[in-house]
Structure 1
Amino acid sequence: MKNTLIILIVFLSNSLFSQNKSLQENFIDIEESKCFGKQDISNAEMRECTIIARESWDKELNKYYNLLSTKLPKDAFEILKASQKEWIIYRDKESKFITKFYFEVKEGTMWYNIAENKKKEIVKNRALELQMYFENLEY
């Protein structure tokens, strides 16, 4: 029951915070869902699934950032670069707060999974944003 509740919270959180709901489910989301689908999965294993997904989203973010660096005019890329530096500061500070809040203020290991999901969503949303910018270059 406890694991079912956590899975429900994670999936609801994904749908509420996903930036591009109209896009088909991304392969990273699919892999994370498969990971959650293991029988008798523990809270720690669920958390690991989300951490792996966040790391995958970070790779996607870097992929699109690098693609944009080669396609954008120099002055536009310099603005993106400055924006990305500010976003990294935001991500790091928000992550620190999320960790403090869900690992220390709240009680119970289920909050650890929620914390990791929130961190993942921050990275996922930025990755999807950069992907959208790149794809819009083709139109």
Structure 2
Amino acid sequence: MSKNVMKNTIILILVFLSISVFSQSKNQQENFIDAAESKCLDKKDISNAEIRNCTIKATQSWDNELNKYYNLLKSKLPKETFEALKESQKQWMIYRDKEYLLISKFYFELKQGTMWYTIAENKKKEIVKSRALELQMYFENLEY
């Protein structure tokens, strides 16, 4: 491979990565789910149980977003591309379920104290949020 081809390839990769990172950080900063969770957590003298419930609600909202973008992609993608997404989603759900099992065993059985339940729920939320943002990115990239 010539130096110019390699240089151009590296530049393209860096541009793509910077756009992707900027897009994700923008979505995370402006997202209504994060704002609603922050508002829920912004109570005076909030208990661990209330914190956990705020996080569970946010996880449910992220799951709704994930499903929204999955269905939007289903309606827009060519059949073969959607089949690849469908298989990817099946594999992601297997990963999610196994990770949830690990999180539950680690934080609910191994650790002691209600603080760990809140940490566990937050870890579960981040898994779903990450996938929802990935699907959102795919959908938004259809417009470019």
TM-score range, shorter chain: 0.7 to 0.9
Pair 1:46-2:73 in alignment: no
RMSD of equivalent CA atoms: 1.1
Pair 1:127-2:132 in alignment: yes
C-alpha distance in structure 2 between counterparts of 1:21 and 1:115, whole Å: 23
Larger radius of gyration, structure 1 or 2?
2
> One-letter code of the match for 1:104?
E
Alignment of 1:50-129 (within 5 A): 50-129=55-134
- Deviation string, structure 1 residues 9-58 (Cα, Å, up to 9, x no partner): xxxxxxxxxx9224333100000000000111110000000000000000
Corresponding residue for residue 19 of structure 2: none
> One-letter code of the match for 1:30?
A
Cα displacement (A) at 1:104: 0.9
Corresponding residue for residue 26 of structure 1: 31
5+ unaligned residues in a row in structure 2: which ranges?
Answer: 1-22
Cα displacement (A) at 1:108: 1.1
State the TM-score, normalized to the length of structure 2. 0.81
- Deviation string, structure 1 residues 55-110 (Cα, Å, up to 9, x no partner): 00000000000000000000000000000000001101100110110011111110
C-alpha distance in structure 2 between counterparts of 1:26 and 1:118, whole Å: 18
State the TM-score, normalized to the length of structure 1. 0.84
Name the one with the larger helix percent.
2
C-alpha distance in structure 1 between counterparts of 2:26 and 2:43, whole Å: 27
C-alpha distance in structure 1 between counterparts of 2:56 and 2:93, whole Å: 18
C-alpha distance in structure 1 between counterparts of 2:90 and 2:30, whole Å: 28
Runs (4+) off by over 6 Å:
none
- Sequence identity percentage: 74
